[in-house]
Amino acid sequence: MAAQRPRRQPTLDEVAERAGVSRSAASRVINKAPHVSRATRDAVERAIKEMGYLPNRTARALATQQTGIVALAVSHDDPELFADPFFAQVIVGVSAALEETDLHLLLCLASSGRGRSRLTNLLHTRGVDGIMLMALHGDDPLTHIARRAGLPTVYGGRPLNFEPQWYVESDNLGGARLATEYLISLGRTRIVTIAGPMSTDVGRARHRGYREAMIMAGLTPYATAEGDFTETGGAAAMKTLLDSHPDLDAIFAASDNMAAGALRVLLDAGRSVPADVAVVGFDDLGIAERTDPPLTTVHQSVQALGKEMTRMLVELIAGHEPPSIILPTKLVLRDSA
């Protein structure tokens, strides 16, 4: 058996000939355009069925100037970062939304310079109809690339270097506030936070939520240590906090990963959770259920994020101007607080 080479598919011309009509008539039938008589439609449809005709995507794309493909670009320095279940969830959401359209998903892990230039090229050569951008830290080069391309663009989470017109994000501020208020309602007062990187909007928003809740309650934000959203980072931050503020009685961690790291350090230090120290995380992407004790956390629906991004992009491509969206978050109570 030889390598499978593409079989030749019938063309529109052949269909038209078989049906005894012109190519334009056949095209009209296929695109369900008006001005087609019953007889013509039937003849063409029969020919299509008999020949197993399917229109060539590329040819159609060239004629219509629409590729039928949208890109999801993920920025990540470290390939491992993509292994975060967060991305898998986004992709599931995006795919679900795309199933209701004729669009397909092109996934771009634009890490290295090479990856970025490939993405730039893809956009400028009109390889896709639109683009979704995820996980942008500080001033990610991807934002510039996307803006220069002049294609419909939707952001998942806001970048820090400018205010995009179209984005979808979880209510980070509200979620953080919710978490902190809950800790306060438990009677805790020496509440510290393990924040995300201040070079990201997510990190800043969740930190602001913590501060606002504390101040609203008449408490002073007790202490902050910055992490990088990872478990290791969370553990390191926890150690710092335990050193500087040994009397802390609650922690709001800006991600479950960091909360998991903190949990470990706390137990190692002999503190019991939640008795001595209450812990609340953020994300609720599976890890939260598996920590010991299971983590009380702020739930965000990442699949919904992907879905809404996609819907928004579809609207943009259709020439509409949908509003940006902020998705609600909610507190999920488990055992750590």
Partner DNA sequence: GTCCAAACTGGAAGCGCTTCCAGCGATGTT
Partner DNA sequence: AACATCGCTGGAAGCGCTTCCAGTTTGGAC
Asked if 57 interacts with a copy of itself (CB under 8 A), we say: yes
To which H or E segment does residue 168 belong?
A: strand 167-170
* Amino acid making up residue 289: E
Tokens of 28: 């009209």
Instruction: Give the whole-angstrom CA distance, residue 287 versus residue 336.
Output: 13
13 touches, from a copy of itself, DNA, none (C-beta below 5 to 8 Å by class) = DNA
Q: Which of 42, 50, 59, 85 binds DNA (CB under 7 A)?
A: 59
Q: Which of 65, 78, 218, 319 binds DNA (CB under 7 A)?
A: 65
- Give the position of tokens 């599931």: 92
Residue whose CB is less far from a copy of itself, 153 or 172: 153
Contact track, DNA, 1-40, x by CB under 7 A: -------x--xxx------xxxxxx-xx-xx-xxxxxxxx
Asked if 46 interacts with a copy of itself (CB under 8 A), we say: no
Residue whose CB is less far from DNA, 218 or 319: 319
23 touches, from DNA, a copy of itself, none (C-beta below 5 to 8 Å by class) = DNA
Asked if 232 interacts with DNA (CB under 7 A), we say: no
7 touches, from DNA, a copy of itself, none (C-beta below 5 to 8 Å by class) = a copy of itself
- Phi and psi for 299 in degrees, rounded to 5? -90, 130
- Cβ-Cβ contacts under 8 Å for 142 (sequence gap 6 or more): 73, 75, 110, 116, 119, 133, 136
- Give the position of tokens 């669009």: 103
Half-sphere exposure of 4 (CA within 13 A, CB side): 2
Q: How far is the CB of 35 from DNA (least distance, A)?
A: 4
CA neighbor of 135 nearest in space, from 68, 175, 178, 89: 89
Strands 191-195 and 250-253 turn out to be: parallel
Counting residues that bind a copy of itself (by CB under 8 A) gives: 62
Q: How far is the CB of 125 from DNA (least distance, A)?
A: 8
For 245-296, what is the HEC assignment?
CCCCCEEEECCHHHHHHHHHHHHHCCCCCCCCCEEEEEECCCHHHHCCCCCE
* Sites of contact with a copy of itself (CB under 8 A): 1-7, 9, 54-59, 61-62, 65, 67-69, 79-80, 82-85, 87-89, 91-92, 95-96, 99, 104-109, 112, 114-115, 118, 121-122, 124-127, 150-153, 165, 286, 292, 303, 316, 319-321
Would you tell me which residues interact with DNA (CB under 7 A)? Answer: 8, 11-13, 20-25, 27-28, 30-31, 33-40, 53, 55-56, 59-60, 62-65
